Amino acid sequence: MRNLLHSRRGSVAFATVAAMVPLVGAIALGAEAGSWYVTKHHAQNAADAAAYSGGLRFACSIAAGSCTDTQPLDYRAKQSAARNSFCNSGDTSYPGSICSTSLPSGVSQQVTVASLTSWNGANGNYVQATVTQQQSAYLSKVLSLSTVNIRATAVARIDALAKPPCVLALKDPITFQGSPTLSSANCGISSNSTAANAIGFKGNTGIQVNAPSYTVGDCSQTGGNQCSKVQTYQQAIPDPLSALKTAITALKTSDFPNKSCGGSTIKSYETGACYNAGTQSINSMTLSGTYYFTGNVKINGSPLITGTATLVFFGGGSLTITGGPTIQLTAMKSPAVPPALSGVRGLMTDLLIYDDEPYSSKGVNISGNSASYFNGTIYVPNSPVTYSGNSSTSAPSTGCYQLIAYAVTFSGNTYLDNSKCKQDSAATPNVQTVRLVQ
């Protein structure tokens, strides 16, 4: 018995077991805390998505006359939270929701959304989304924690774009390749494309862009740091001339009182109340008035074309500019219209060129060595506009040159200067940007 009492065999095992009790407890507490961190991460994603989506809906409502979303801000924010698995109890029916219809015992969720007129001491338009999850504590009860509240908050700010775009791609990307130069510091460029190359730079230091740049999608580059100056994942910019597109798409040759002008000399609506049919070549001349075309018009060679005019291509008509012409045109302030366009005449103020040719065509091409200034808006809603070769286009000392097209490509050594723009045309869109500030 004395030997047994003095025996120390097994003491290490006993000490190890004694030490394992708090060690296992600490590991278990760490694992529980780790699960809180994961939940917090998911909750922050849901809050970010909710605030941003609510901000987009807020921006849509500010863009008067262009918002077609019938759901309120609160709905859009909570819908995005639901798509990230966070919903108010019993509020799980949002489209795309992945919220559980039956949460585990002791678990509850809450999503709150608020629009604010100031945040962090700064006035403005804000959307704040807060996501919380309350759940029972288990091992952490030893630390007097019976429940755990996990909370995440995000805030989105909605700002009016101080410099609406002079170059707007309505559907497909804006692409820069070769060595083009674009100077548009006062109004910038924007693409509504959702693609990864919504604004794409294919080249290195040869591309020179001085313009505030915005896109719904992402920016791509093959070299340099051009994308660092592009704001991505912004609100789409509404087409300010969509009603004009609808009206001219419905325009027919029978809507013209005197039908086709006939002859090889083009006539303005003011002088003939007619449209110009067939293929036309415009040589050196001064344009004055509003011209309607149903055929193809080519400006080639080295003519000098000046004047104040509005050129409307409809029914498949198109414009091609090649060679080395000098074009100095200012848009009409009060264009003459057939009765079918009387309801959209106001939208034609400062409209320089409208071209409705379909996407299946090559669109409007400005190439060669043309040196021009366009004072007004070029609107090509259905097909791309391509600047290539060594073409050079600028705005005059007053007024503004604005381009709205399905897609835009700048290539070669083209030069586009919109630096004189003050954005006072009828085509100026109401633009909002959304960004997370918390």
pLDDT beyond 70 at 416: yes
**Residue 100: band (very low, low, confident or very high) from pLDDT cuts 50, 70, 90:** confident
Residue 224's nearest CA partner among 205, 208, 210, 206 is: 205
- Residue 87 in 3-state DSSP? coil
Q: DSSP class of residue 178? A: S
Which helix (H) or strand (E) segment is 286 a member of?
strand 285-293
pLDDT beyond 70 at 6: no
pLDDT at 31: 54
Give this prediction's pTM: 0.68
Which helix (H) or strand (E) segment is 11 a member of?
helix 11-62
More confident residue, 293 or 393: 293
pLDDT beyond 80 at 223: no
pLDDT beyond 80 at 162: no
Q: What is the DSSP string of 361-373?
A: S--EEE-TT-EEE
- Residue 30 in 3-state DSSP? helix
Q: What is the pLDDT of residues 238-289, one digit of tens each?
A: 788 888 999 999 999 999 999 898 777 889 999 989 999 888 888 888 999 9
* Separation CA 397–CA 165 (nearest Å): 18
pLDDT at 329: 87
More confident residue, 2 or 72: 72
Rounded to 5 degrees, what are φ and ψ at 325?
-75, 160
How would you label 157-172 residue by residue, b for 16+ Cβ within 10 Å and e otherwise?
Answer: bbeebebbbbbbbbbb
* Separation CA 226–CA 209 (nearest Å): 8
Average pLDDT for residues 93-113, to the nearest whole number? 89
Q: What is the pLDDT of residues 404-415, one digit of tens each?
A: 999 998 887 887
Mean pLDDT in the chain?
A: 81
Beta carbons within 10 angstroms of residue 23's beta carbon: 10
Residue 310's nearest CA partner among 352, 266, 360, 248 is: 352
pLDDT at 139: 52
pLDDT beyond 80 at 392: no
pLDDT at 22: 55
